[in-house]
Amino acid sequence: MEQIVSRMDSGELALEDMLKEFERGIKLVRDCQQFLKHAQTRVEKLIEEQGGLEIKELEPEPGRGEDEVD
């Protein structure tokens, strides 16, 4: 994803190439969201099978935004 953003920010891509990179980025985001949703479902099922452990939201690391991705 970082490579896509860097290429788009460089200003060296033609409009058509930029649109292709944007589409590729959207697909990557959707794939990641689907993977995370599936992982969350699996974790919740495992917790339920273990007798209902308490689920707590994680606090973001200091200096990082909630929507920041590595």
Confidence (pLDDT) at 7: 84
Q: The whole model's pTM is what?
A: 0.59
The answer to the question of residue 70 being in a domain is no
The token pair that represents 42 in the structure block: 């699996």
For residue 6, give the nearest of 19, 21, 20 by alpha carbon: 21
The answer to the question of residue 38 being in a domain is yes
If you average pLDDT over every residue of the chain, what do you get?
84
The answer to the question of residue 41 being in a domain is yes
The answer to the question of residue 23 being in a domain is yes
Confidence (pLDDT) at 68: 54
Exposed/middle/buried for 4, CB within 10 Å: 0-12, 13-18, 19+? middle
Residue-wise pLDDT tens digits, 28-60:
999 999 999 999 999 888 888 887 666 677 888
Domain count, the chain: 1
Domain span at residue 14 reads 2-49
What is the spatial distance between Cα 33 and Cα 65, in angstroms, rounded to a whole number?
Answer: 18
The answer to the question of residue 63 being in a domain is no
